[in-house]
Amino acid sequence: MNADGCDDEPHDGGGSTAPSQDELLDKLENVSLSPTEHQRIKDLVNRDLTEIKGYDRRYLSVGAGGTTGAATRRKIVYELLDGRTDPPAVAFRLEDYGLTPDEIRLWARAFDILCGRATHIVAVIEDFDGGYVWEMGLLFAPPYREKAWILKRKYDDPQTEREKYENGMAASHVELLLTGPRCFGWADTDDLRDSVSEIP
């Protein structure tokens, strides 16, 4: 734990339940799903989507998973959004739908469907060292860009800031998401909670 109340440990972008960034980038390009895989996606997503239909605000939470400090901070955001009552709101995550690392071919399709169901897509970003970087790339697609809200961790030291967000796989369009009017910086957990209040 550092002075700002956050840890700087490396995280895995999803723990044992999420594929690595390299796996995602290697296997998500030009994926053609079989009829069985299409049915798996439909069954997975449709099973629970009826539960979120009745909410005025539907927040898809994006970011680090697993058991790291970054994942814990993302959960704080998830819980704050899920607890909103005016208007009624619900938060959900890709990992809520039971996809395993063995089903990597299905991740992008499921994420695409969930983005379509969300009214707001909220990404909690602390670095570009995780499997969720591909999600950030998908958020640049025009239909989703208008729904995307970014909570980006700030670092006091410029060198640390560069190191955390330097990643050749994170294309320039991801950088644009991090510099627009829907991106809010935070340095510690209190800042993060305050930043959530900026999201309608």
- Report how far residue 32's alpha carbon sits from residue 10's, in angstroms, rounded to the nearest whole number: 33
Q: How far is CA 32 from CA 1, 28, 105, 109, 137, in A?
A: 44, 9, 8, 10, 19
Name the amino acid, one letter, at 38: H
Give the model's pLDDT for residue 150.
92
Note the pLDDT of residue 130.
66
- What is the dihedral sign for C-alpha 95, 96, 101, 106? negative
What pLDDT, on a 0 to 100 scale, did the predictor assign at position 7?
56
Model pLDDT, residue 112: 82
* pLDDT score of 55: 92
Predicted model pTM: 0.81
All residue ranges of the chain with pLDDT < 70 are: 1-31, 47-48, 101, 130-134, 137, 140, 167-176
Euclidean distance between CA atoms 84 and 91, whole angstroms: 9
Q: Is it true that domain 32-198 has CATH number 3.40.50? A: yes
pLDDT score at 6: 66
**Partners of residue 136 on adjacent β-strands:** none
Contact 74, 61 (CB under 8 A): yes
